[in-house]
Structure 1
């Protein structure tokens, strides 16, 4: 953080090159780029991961292999560091692939059927992005080097380079779970909660946004329009799906997906500084939000259904205070940290020359964010206690409370601090009064919508809104898991079983290897019979020979 203050004050950028060895005219070099953006993001990743590791000592206290868990988390953070500090596409791929591999190990940490399925879905979806990066590495051979920072401004006008920018966009969409690659993000909630806190705040899902920010100068307008459409759709879909979800961790995961769509949308409009600003602010309060959720789940003996919760403010006042602050910051309530980035994003959007669709999607998605947040607060913090008497709910856990307490100060002040540091020149927002008040109006409407819909009985609400059919559609992310997982895997696997049954075990067996095996077996049985009865056969042939001689010579 101190290096960041020095670098942003004097506008420094430093590139380190470590030469491992030279072979003839080829050299193997590891390159690191230090500028204010990479240093600031590194400081956030280190700080959040240290709090998460400290928190994990209590949350994972009953685990027999906690040392392995901590080592996996450290490998995860190291992969993220390699990705952040690399201006070289090959070393970025090492960090990128390391994130995918270690995330697979962490998602399947609780070894059961659901975790294995979720881990395989996470890993295979991220492999699509890895392949896109590999192709872009091969395409960069045309330009004589893999240090993409040297080529961004020059090659924006090159038509061939647009292929690389498109491949980078595909890679970032898979890592940041944009439509149509969104189904892995809620599935990855099978991982332990400290991992979810790290993944959804500053490491795995933010790697795609960070790479988009780094590559921003080379994107052509068509690529940005493509990105804007899918990211805005993701933001709307995630906000809508979270209002139908009852799993606590999946609600918070959907909110991460919605915020990722917001970051990429504003980036595709050209405001990548705003995207980076919201990325950092969101990392802090989302990490704390997951840690508070983990504390609730830990107290509820691993129950994650929000319908069993209620009245938590009476049992866990400190955790509920942290939880409330993070949720209000997520909503963009004025003068919380999320307000400084979210309000600025929507006001800059209001000054953009874009169509009514984008403006409407942004405002409706913001309203849906506030709706599911107040719905979550209603189910968990208000009302009566709905769980069994075996729940051991309290704020007595020292490590967990200290881990959360280390983040709360920065959650409160990070918005204003970063706005002064990243934007030393003030923005001038010139909007009509109705446009300025639109954000506050959306916040009020969304909060009332979430609160009153939560109070109504859900069956009556569905009948009232005629949404019994659409509940399964909206609650399952627009049936995306069926298209991206079940639809892609079930029918090819069924076809493969048919091939296996009728060809591998059918015609190819009867006329191929199995037929050859039968023929060889028969011939070997004959040879085996001759081998075991060689003495009898010898004596029999000898007797035949003697009879032959007796017949013709006597």
Structure 2
């Protein structure tokens, strides 16, 4: 146990100071417009050399500092959340491996080394999702792993296609060959990989299922590591995506993902799944603004979202910890009286998610929506942007109404308290970042303020949509009994919206009953049937019989057979004569 305490604190201190160092380095790089490209020759054999490449620019350094900062606080938080776990060391080492895989992915300008980090994230995420070792965790882990394997295969195909260029360093070819048809194929495969990692439609079902992992892992995964890997890769590939059919396709898919996740969260009662669906909605927002050709804005929202989403999950973990592992928001209520400090952090992160002015989410979200209003955009995508923003406020206020207000709906002698000082320490640090992080990042990333001139109705549209969404969420929750009865009247529609448009069923039963059953039949009838009987098994049987015959000849005296054969021949001839 002493070693587990030391590994927690050592990891926390090391990662925290590394993040501070990298953030200062990132500020220095962005002020001086510096990029460092490192090539490390691992070994050379007969004029063929294996070279590892690293790209250090302001984007990779800033992102690494945020990942390390959040992971350090998550490890610090895990010390108390995972207290009593006999395998604490294993858990911390898995989290550190997860962070290391993300580091590989961030600093790689090379598709081969990206695959190292990409597959590392997939494998370690599987280990973390099945950490609690029950049937639900195993199912969720398998769904996560298999969904991400599609993206891994797409990335492998992109690596094979990059052979057309003579090198796997994609960073060299983006601007030069963005008009090339070959690069479109590579970009299409990378988009498919990013859609699986960032859980866009139709690969969205694994994201809420991955909530089977411990809450500290959810805080890390949903803020800055696994799900953001796809967005980060597309930020790097942005030059090839914009102004063509790939960008338009991505805009439609990400807009629908944003809309679907916002609708689904309003029908959900599991605390962690509501926050997971809000992550899915924000990923759709990042992807959609990215497909319109604003990678810097997508990166800005990626960083601000990481701050308040990690805080939101940590607060949810504290509530679940105190509720003795109950995650149903209908059993909560009146938490603001029982756990005031946790509720303060929870509400600040929730308001930052909604885009409350001068919190972290406001600086990125409001800017994205104003840029969308300024661009040439079709009516359907415009509707998806603003309606999804309203839905975000709607489910956030619904969550606050169910969990924070009213009376406590569980056992009367429930031991709710705010005495978990280790968990609160990490939450309070992140709370200050969720308040101040947005303005600090906007000063650094956009030092020259840009003027966005819009008509007053467009300028106020974001604010009005947020107010209307919040009012709708409050009204729906206030009449919770009648709301449930109304949803029973329209049961099929409620079931469709609340089950992520049937995607979990298609990802499990659809894959199970059609391709896997078909594969089983083919395997039984061909691999273990005719092809076996006429192929390998027949060759084996024939070879066995021939070798037995040869062995029988070798085990006997051939001369005796010849003499007896000649004698029989002589006798036969004598009889015939």
TM-score above 0.5? yes
* Residue matched to 1:67: 89
- What is the deviation of 1:499? 6.0
SS at match of 2:178: helix
1:324-473 alignment runs, 5 A limit: 324-389=347-412, 391-458=414-481, 460=483, 462-463=485-486, 466-473=489-496
- What is the deviation of 1:471? 1.1
- What is the deviation of 1:516? 12
Between 1:487-496 and 1:118-127, the stretch displaced more is 487-496
Tell me if 1:180 matches 2:196.
Answer: no
* Residue matched to 1:294: 317
SS at match of 1:37: helix
Provide the rounded CA distance (Å) in 1 between the counterparts of 2:535 and 2:296.
64
1:119-157, Cα deviation, whole Å (9 max, x unpaired): 011011111111111111111111111111111111101
The answer (yes or no) to whether the contact 2:241–2:291 under 8 Å persists in 1 is: no
* Residue matched to 1:543: none
Tell me if 1:133 matches 2:155.
Answer: yes
- What is the deviation of 1:493? 3.9
SS at match of 2:418: coil
Provide the rounded CA distance (Å) in 1 between the counterparts of 2:494 and 2:338.
33
1:132-151 alignment runs, 5 A limit: 132-151=154-173
The answer (yes or no) to whether the contact 1:41–1:280 under 8 Å persists in 2 is: yes
* Residue matched to 2:508: 485
Between 1:203-212 and 1:423-432, the stretch displaced more is 423-432
* Residue matched to 2:73: 51
1:184-240, Cα deviation, whole Å (9 max, x unpaired): 000000000000000000000000000000111122511100100000000000000
Provide the rounded CA distance (Å) in 2 between the counterparts of 1:199 and 1:138.
29
Give the 3 Å change call, closer, same or farther, for CA 347–466 of structure 1 in structure 2.
Answer: farther
- Aligned-pair Cα RMSD in Å: 2.3
Provide the rounded CA distance (Å) in 2 between the counterparts of 1:140 and 1:146.
6
Provide the rounded CA distance (Å) in 1 between the counterparts of 2:175 and 2:188.
16
1:7-60, Cα deviation, whole Å (9 max, x unpaired): 001100001111111112111111110100000000000000000000001000
* Residue matched to 1:203: 225
The answer (yes or no) to whether the contact 1:52–1:197 under 8 Å persists in 2 is: yes
Give the 3 Å change call, closer, same or farther, for CA 161–390 of structure 1 in structure 2.
Answer: same
Tell me if 1:34 matches 2:68.
Answer: no
Provide the rounded CA distance (Å) in 2 between the counterparts of 1:27 and 1:517.
44
Q: Normalising by structure 2, what TM-score? A: 0.87
Between 1:485-494 and 1:246-255, the stretch displaced more is 485-494
Which consecutive unaligned segments of at least 5 residues does structure 1 have?
Answer: 520-554
Tell me if 1:248 matches 2:289.
Answer: no
Tell me if 1:218 matches 2:240.
Answer: yes
1:80-95 alignment runs, 5 A limit: 80-95=102-117
The answer (yes or no) to whether the contact 1:108–1:119 under 8 Å persists in 2 is: yes
SS at match of 2:38: strand
1:392-450, Cα deviation, whole Å (9 max, x unpaired): 21111121011111211111001111111001121111001111111111111111100
Provide the rounded CA distance (Å) in 1 between the counterparts of 2:483 and 2:446.
49
Provide the rounded CA distance (Å) in 1 between the counterparts of 2:509 and 2:479.
34
* Residue matched to 2:44: 22
SS at match of 2:51: strand
